[in-house]
Structure 1
Amino acid sequence: MTGIVIQSLAGLMWTLAYILIILRSRRDKVYGVPLVALSANLTWEFWYTLVELPPHEDPVKLAAQFVVNFVWLVFDLVILAQTLRYGPRQFDWLPRAGFYAMFALVLAVTGPTIVLLNKEFDDVFGVRASFVQNLVMSGLFLAMLNARRSAAGQSLGIALSKMAGTGLAALGVFLYPPAPVYDHSVLLPFLYVAILVVDGVYTAGMWRLRDVPAPAAPVVEKVAA
């Protein structure tokens, strides 16, 4: 199995996760991605689609990377629209304007963090930041599940496709690193394992709560997610 095949499968699994998140969010009338995780995803995909596309000597790979990043960016914008629509109901202890101000602040802090992390390591492919934010995302999904105590906005399919997508992406970078610098990384192998462990815990929790329906009233977030 070549690197392009592994990364393509990873992309397909993450695309499936995005689609399932959007459909579930629409059904349950709640947002489906934790706020910090959504902010990180928006930043990474905007930056590496419209600002600084990762370099590839092969123009086919470059074009494929652009298409994948662009599709993910579009999905993230749909998830953003759902978050702005359903989010204020879930933070009913905040006025609507307060929720929007809070989300803007989260985006203003998270966005530069992702970009500057890549700049700090001179990581033109954004690999380190992508796996750091994946670990944070995994933890936040677990926190969101704990806050809601139901399958509201979430599903076992989302958990499995998210875990498979990240696992395949990690395998692709491990076996076929896009640059020699990743061969000697001590951070990335730790992140691969840590994400797998946290995703496994989240999936187990999702399995246990898979039949607990979303409440009829809007879900109120008791834990910042």
Structure 2
Amino acid sequence: MLRLVLVAISGVCWSAVYIDSIRIGFRQKLCAMPLFALALNIAWEGIYSGLDFFVRGEISAQAVANAAWFLLDIAIVVTYFKFARSECTTDAERRFFVPWSVLVFASCLVLQLLFVVQFGDVEGEKYSAFLQNLIMSVCYLYMLRDRGGSRGQSMLIAVSKCVGTLTPTIIGGMEGNLFIVVTGIICFIFDAIYIVALRCVRRGEIAREPAES
């Protein structure tokens, strides 16, 4: 029972991350998810939803969630290619925006496929998920620094990402999986730092608003 509750919480939280990323992306005309995080995510969800439906023949709750997240990720990819070029600061970055982006998406797809080849679809799914979550946690911190503010970010995304990773970490602890527990704890530490940093940045922005108006 506890496991089902944790899985449900994780699913709701990750859905909130994607939906709010789409909302912010189109509203603020930017991509609300870091490039490498987005590329790893859409590759993971595309691969494992495909395996669920076409190889394993599963129509489980997790399979449906993976497919739904994949479709949501497509919308975030649209915001990336539609708006992210505007954040390029040099002519070279703008010129190579598409080739660089394609290289990143292709590289992440290859890496995710290698997990399946090397560890199998079941173990590969779990281990690659936690490694990419760790990369995501670091990427969000860099995004906060690079943008110099809270633009394209929200506490809903930050907290949902944190809780969405923490709940399967607890499941990993219940199963005695040391890899998941350790990587999950590291993710939680970086996620907590990001939440605090984003909160501090947002407070500073709010404090400056009256003086700027």
Q: Which residue does the alignment assign to 1:91?
A: 88
Deviations 1:8-37 (A, max 9, x none): 110001101111111112222111111111
Q: Which runs of structure 2 are paired with 1:1-225 in the superposition (5 Å)?
A: 1-52=1-52, 62-93=59-90, 94=92, 96-125=94-123, 126-175=125-174, 177=175, 183=176, 185-211=177-203, 212=205
Q: Is the 8 A contact 1:156 1:207 kept in 2?
A: yes
Q: Which position in structure 1 is the counterpart of 2:210?
A: none
Q: Could you tell me the TM-score, scaled by structure 1's length?
A: 0.83
Aligned AA (2:33): V
- Percent identity over the alignment? 27
Per the alignment, do residues 53 and 205 of structure 1 end up closer, same or farther by CA in structure 2, a change over 3 Å counting? farther
- Larger RCO, structure (CA 8 Å, separation 6 or more): 1
Deviations 1:72-117 (A, max 9, x none): 0011000000000011111142464511110100111111112212
| More helix, by proportion | 2
RMSD, aligned CA: 2.2
Q: Which runs of 5+ in 1 are unaligned?
A: 178-182, 214-225
Q: What amino acid is the match of 1:197?
A: I
Q: Distance in 2 between matches of 1:174 and 1:127?
A: 13
Gapped regions of structure 2 (runs ≥ 5): 207-213
Give the CA deviation at 1:55: 9.0
Tell me how far apart the structure 2 counterparts of residues 96 and 146 of structure 1 sit (CA, whole Å): 21
The structural deviation recorded for 1:168 is 1.1
Query: Quick one: distance in 1 between partners of 2:93 and 2:127?
Result: 37
Q: C-alpha offsets along residues 22-70 of structure 1, whole Å, 9 cap, x if unaligned?
A: 111222211111111111001100001113559989x6xx421221111
TM-score (norm 2): 0.87
Tell me which amino acid in the other structure corresponds to 1:154: Q
Give, in whole Å, the separation in 2 of the partners of 1:53 and 1:116: 20
Work out the CA distance in 2 between the residues paired with 1:55 and 1:165: 27
